Amino acid sequence: MTASNTPAVNEALLTRLRRIEGQVRGIARMLEDGRTCEDVVTQLMAVRSSIDTVGAAVLDEHLCACTQDKDPAAQVAALREAMKLWWRFAPSAGSAGPDPDHPGASSPLPLDRA
């Protein structure tokens, strides 16, 4: 999967990532200042949510590119691969992360479909 976003989409994603970067620096300052655990965790969850949003935007752009002008079977295959990737890496989807011995490990989708 390659990033084939338009310049406008890339700039919007970069803006979001810069905002996330600022949030992470803010969390580091919170720790240095001795802020409460609840405050720090709240901000960490906000960063996670922001990263998930960027990931969804990247995946959406990819899906648009990989399904455009494709036959229906190729579209379905591309959608299934994208869903497996999302389930594999999305913490909020219940995944514990990638299992190198089992592609699509935490996905509720079957690995192969005849």
Q: Do 31 and 81 lie in a common domain?
A: no
| Inside any domain, residue 2 | no
> Rounded to 5 degrees, what are φ and ψ at 96?
-95, 5
Domain edge (last residue) among 49, 68, 87? 68
Residue 51 lies in a domain: yes
Distance CA 80, CA 66 (A): 12
> Do 63 and 114 sit in the same domain of this protein?
no
Q: Do 63 and 96 share a domain, yes or no? A: no
CA–CA separation, 70 and 64 (whole Å): 11
Query: 39: domain CATH number?
Result: 1.20.58.1000
Model confidence, pTM? 0.66
Same domain, 97 and 63: no
Q: How far apart are CA 20 and CA 36, in angstroms?
A: 21
- Spatial contact of 107 and 94, defined as CB atoms under 8 Å apart: no
Same domain, 61 and 85: no
pLDDT, tens digit, 9 for 90 and up, residues 53-80: 898 888 888 888 888 888 889 888 888 8
Q: Which domain range does residue 43 map to? A: 7-68
Condensed to tens digits (0 to 9), the pLDDT of residues 35-56 reads: 999 999 999 999 999 998 898 8
